Amino acid sequence: MKMKKLISVGLVLACAVTLAACGSKKEGADDKGEDKKTLVMATNAEFPPYEFYEGDEIVGIDAEFAAAIAEKLGMELKIEDMAFDSIISAVQGGKADIGVAGLTVDEKRKKSVDFTDTYYTGRQVIIVTEDSTIAGPDDLEGKKIGVQQGTTGDQYTTDDYGDENIERFNKGMEAVMSLTQGKVDAVVIDDQPAKTFVSQNEGLKILETEYIEEDYAMAVKKGNEELVKKVNDAIKALKDDGTFDKIVAKYIK
């Protein structure tokens, strides 16, 4: 009789230890009852059409493309919105798996993080008022230039024209508003957000001569070669099958 009681208690304990197997699968688990891993993306959702808010949701080219990559990897995407100049440190510190925000590959950033293959080519352009005498990059000498802090536009203009001529803002739109108020003479920013900002504010134009051309890639913690390879494979597959072009066409007419 004692032996039967011991066996019965043992079975109860065994089921308690393996409760997940004895009960229903966890919320967010796949069809096999296994938890899907999360791919955390750090971004700055002030950069249309790459990442921006639509209601409470972050949408855009980067957001959709990262979600497609996560799906390819059998993962679920989680987007963390933060200041642009916090993205690299978030990836460095392991708070995010990837940094995606129209990030340009440059030597300074490569010292802190690794980059995936390029997935898009962007341009830095110059926004001025319609009555401005500024006609190209050469005319920016001695002018007050608005930029989004921590961007390559910030880096390039600081190197070219000196820190004293640069006015930094947390958001690109804040720089543009400063231009409309006459507080800066020009804004240097990526071309696609520039088009959005100009369309929303009368009296502004984008100069035909671009400031510089650059490649966008995703930042990954330095030394994480496995994740870089997986993301690169997903980027290639999604570009080859036309998924990336469809995403871009949705946001850039």
Flag whether pLDDT at 19 surpasses 90.
Answer: no
Query: Of all residues in the chain, what percent carry a pLDDT higher than 90?
Result: 81
Which of the pair, 29 or 107, is modelled with greater confidence? Answer: 107
Give the mean pLDDT of 244-250: 96
pLDDT tens sequence across 64-86: 999 999 999 999 999 999 999 99
Residues 142-151 have pLDDT tens digits of: 999 999 999 9
Domains 38-119+217-251 and 122-214 share a fold: yes
pLDDT at 27 over 70: no
* Domain 38-119+217-251 CATH assignment equals 3.40.190.10: yes
Tell me the C-alpha distance between 93 and 74, whole Å.
Answer: 24
The larger pLDDT score, comparing residue 11 to residue 138, is at: 138
Please give the pLDDT value at position 99: 98
pLDDT of residue 132: 97
pLDDT of residue 28: 40
Report which of 68, 98, 75, 52 is spatially closest to residue 247, judged by C-alpha positions. 68
Task: Give the predicted TM-score (pTM) of the model.
Answer: 0.73
Helices (H), the chain: 2-17, 19-22, 61-72, 87-92, 107-110, 152-161, 172-180, 191-200, 225-240, 243-251
Whole-number mean pLDDT of the chain?
88
Poorest-pLDDT segment among 14-28, 100-114, 204-218: 14-28
Has residue 30 got a pLDDT over 60? no
pLDDT(153) > 90: yes
Q: Assign 252 a pLDDT band (cuts: 50, 70, 90).
A: confident
Residues 56-72, buried b or exposed e (16+ Cβ, 10 A)? eebbbbbbbbbbbbbeb
What pLDDT score was predicted for residue 35? 58
Q: What is the pLDDT of residues 163-173, one digit of tens each?
A: 999 999 999 99
Maximum Cα–Cα distance across the chain: 99
The pLDDT > 70 percentage for the chain reads 86
The pLDDT score that the predictor gives to residue 24 is: 36
Specify the pLDDT at position 20: 38
pLDDT at 31: 44
Tell me how far CA of residue 22 lies from CA of 6, 9, 58, 65, in angstroms. Answer: 20, 16, 38, 38
Residue 36 is predicted with a pLDDT of 66
Q: Where are the domains of the chain?
A: 38-119+217-251, 122-214
The answer on pLDDT for 6 being more than 50 is no
Domain 122-214 maps to which CATH number in 3.40.50.720, 1.10.10.10, 3.40.50.1580, 3.40.190.10?
A: 3.40.190.10
